[in-house]
Amino acid sequence: MTKSMEDPNTISEQKARQALENLNELPSMPAVVGQALNIIDDPNANINRLAEILSTDISITTQLLKLVNSAYYGFPSQITTINKAMALLGLNKVRSLILGLAVKPMMLSEHGKKLWHHSLRCAVGSKYLAKNLEFGDPEEAFITGLLHDIGKTVLQVQNINAYNEVQKLAAIGADILDAERTFYGFTHTEVGKILTEKWNLPLIIGITVEHHHNPLASEESMSAGIVYVANCITREQLKYPVFDQDIIDSLDFEIPDPEAMREKVFELSQPVIDAFS
């Protein structure tokens, strides 16, 4: 096959992989987080072993306890050990919190808090929708919403000027993925999926991250559809959620009052943003 006949998707995926390899500051998961997630995903998860691993990272332990003791959870008494935190929250929630702590420094770059707050809101919105639609595991929806734009951190590190140009084009209605392809040769969705693979996260998370702008193209269309809607609802620059009605109609969704849902999700997100701050 000649080069010009290669599938454009394959070409941009190759470019995304190349970009990750060329970065000096490759976003990486703290080792402890990777080990902790592996233990949690093991059906015979051993809580004591998990507590032991987490305790070796003072920063993660301190932040985790701070989160658990925040007003968001409202536990009546102070929780002082990781074991107690896990017993109260359950492993699934601990998993979301650990991942949140791990990606926070990547998303809270010198470019501000915008991406971080949007990601937390999209996480809360995805969980809210998954619960209401009774689809899948709401905690997994939270994680996927949290990570949906993680690829943007790569675009920012690679070329902040190009990133700002893309944001400007998107703000005046350009397709963000087309704009990214023009400036970078690949998209935040492609590079985001590759990052989730590098971090050994479950495949469904990567597939959802890849298709959160075009859920109908995904083999996990419901899961991608949930993040699609949550993403549309939590775009800070738009006061009113804008969806592609064809996408909503094709999915098994009903969104009777998008503005009310937006308000609800913003309200539910504030304590989460405060807890993680």
**Which residues bind to Fe ion, rule: CB under 5 A?**
149, 231
- Residue placing its CB nearer to Fe ion in the complex, 138 or 145: 145
Minimum CB distance to Fe ion, residue 63 (Å): 24
- Whether the Cβ atoms of residue 233 and residue 262 lie closer than 8 Å to each other: yes
Minimum CB distance to Fe ion, residue 115 (Å): 8
- Residue placing its CB nearer to Fe ion in the complex, 57 or 125: 125
Minimum CB distance to Fe ion, residue 53 (Å): 31
Tell me which residue of 222, 197, 224 sits closest to 208, measured CA to CA. Answer: 224
CB atoms within 10 A of CB 110: 6
Minimum CB distance to Fe ion, residue 199 (Å): 18
- Residue placing its CB nearer to Fe ion in the complex, 79 or 177: 177
- Residue placing its CB nearer to Fe ion in the complex, 95 or 211: 211
Question: Given phi > 0 = left and psi -120 to 50 = alpha, else beta, which region is 173?
Answer: left
Minimum CB distance to Fe ion, residue 122 (Å): 6
- Residue placing its CB nearer to Fe ion in the complex, 32 or 227: 227
- Residue placing its CB nearer to Fe ion in the complex, 208 or 231: 231
Tell me which residue of 188, 99, 185 sits closest to 140, measured CA to CA. Answer: 99
Minimum CB distance to Fe ion, residue 215 (Å): 12
